[in-house]
Homo-oligomer: A and B are copies of this chain.
Amino acid sequence: MTTATLLIACDDKPGLVSTFAQFIAANGGNILDADQHTEDETGRFFMRLVFDTASFALDESATRAALDRLSSSIANTRFQLFMGGGLPKVALFCSKTAHCVYDLLMRHAMGDLPCEVALVVSNHEDLRSVAEHFGVPFEYVPVDRDNKQAAEDRHEQLLAAHGIGLVVLARYMQIVGPGFCDRWAGRCINIHHSFLPAFVGARPYHQAFERGVKVIGATAHYVTADLDQGPIIEQDIAHVGHHCSVKELTRLGRDVERQVLARAVRWHLERRIIIHGNRTVVFA
């Protein structure tokens, strides 16, 4: 079955569900999943439609054109159409810590992530063998105080060369520059090892130990230029106790990190997420 996914955000008014559903039906598409939510506080309308395109009369550009016409009479519309084309291509950025990279590559190998992992980029050589084991090209791009711009340029060059559509910072221990953040807005997911907004910045497990918390957590979010402040996609926690050293918190946290990151990446790839200001709508 070939399907397309349409994400719509606009100001609410009567008849919108009908308008979009009718558009698809009138052109021979069959809706397989529909989720719609209107936010009271803001009057914003959000919808996700997945439809069978086997008998759909329009190709991608005709669909876009038709949606543009439909949108012209609806206020503040933003739609995203995912139709045809191959699997999205994903790049994983990492440093020395292996668990998130292993986890994503293993899930991909088992057929759990609807994408092609096309590239692993790291500022260290440590995880080359992991990427190679899974048959994914590995690119070593060292980063230090003096070559940040050159490294970023190299990143962009690699991402372009591989046709990457989503960058996943899978415990990448470098701060990415504001230019990169802007260009990859909504297409770059980071995993932070705390339940944000608690413990922003460095060494969150040390902060958690000091504060004596009884839960630790992890947060997957879209990257923005403000460190650890971007729209949150998913969070989860683990219960901890007085017997947990920082090392133990770190160990327990790894399980949370990789699950939270995997869920966020999966939802992004399944086109379940609409960014709404600094929040996200996730049709899970």
* A positions within 8 Å CB-CB of B: 12-19, 21-22, 24-26, 28-41, 46-47, 52, 55, 98-99, 102, 106, 109-110, 112, 129, 133, 195-199, 211-215, 217, 231-237, 239, 241-243, 245, 251, 254-255, 259, 276-282, 284
A231 CA to B98 CA in the complex, in Å?
33
Evaluate whether A18 and B21 lie within 8 angstroms (CB atoms) in the complex, with A195-B215, A199-B197, A232-B213 already known.
Answer: yes
Q: How far is the CB of A158 from chain B (nearest CB, A)?
A: 24
Tell me whether A237 and B215 are in contact (CB under 8 A): yes
Cβ contacts A to B, 17 pairs, < 8 Å: A14-B30, A16-B31, A17-B21, A17-B31, A18-B18, A32-B38, A34-B34, A35-B36, A99-B106, A102-B106, A133-B133, A195-B217, A196-B211, A197-B211, A212-B231, A213-B232, A215-B217
Whether the Cβ atoms of B196 and A213 lie closer than 8 Å is yes
A34, B17: Cβ atoms closer than 8 Å: yes
A234 with B214: CB separation less than 8 A: yes
Contact between A232 and B251, CB atoms less than 8 A apart: no
Chain B residues near A241 (CB-CB < 8 A): 282, 284
Residue in chain B with minimal CB distance to A105: B102
Which residues on B sit within 8 Å (CB–CB) of A25? 14-15, 17-19
Contact of A34 among B22, B29, B35 (CB under 8 A): B35
Given A14-B25, A18-B18, A25-B17; A37-B242 close (CB under 8 Å): yes
Given contacts A214-B233, A232-B213, A234-B214, contact A38 B33 (CB under 8 A): yes
Q: Does the CB pair B21–A280 fall under 8 Å?
A: no
Q: How far is the CB of A225 from chain B (nearest CB, A)?
A: 17
Find chain B residues with CB under 8 A from A22 CB: 18, 21-22
Q: A12 to chain B: which residues have CB within 8 Å? A: 30
A35 with B35: in contact, given A25-B18, A276-B242 (CB under 8 Å)? yes
Please determine whether B106 and A110 come into contact, CB atoms closer than 8 angstroms.
no
Query: Chain B residue with minimal CB distance to A260?
Result: B214
Contact at A242–B99, with CB atoms within 8 Å? no
CB atoms of A212 and B21 under 8 A apart: no
Known contacts A22-B22, A215-B237; can you find 18 more A-B pairs with CB under 8 A?
A17-B17, A17-B25, A21-B21, A21-B22, A34-B36, A46-B242, A99-B110, A102-B102, A197-B211, A211-B279, A212-B231, A212-B278, A212-B279, A214-B235, A217-B237, A237-B237, A242-B281, A255-B259
Q: Bound state CA distance, A22 and B181, in angstroms?
A: 41
Contact A280-B242, Cβ < 8 Å, known A17-B25, A38-B32, A196-B213 = yes
**In the bound complex, CA of A41 to CA of B108 (Å):** 25
Residues of B within 8 A of A237 (CB): 195, 215, 217, 237
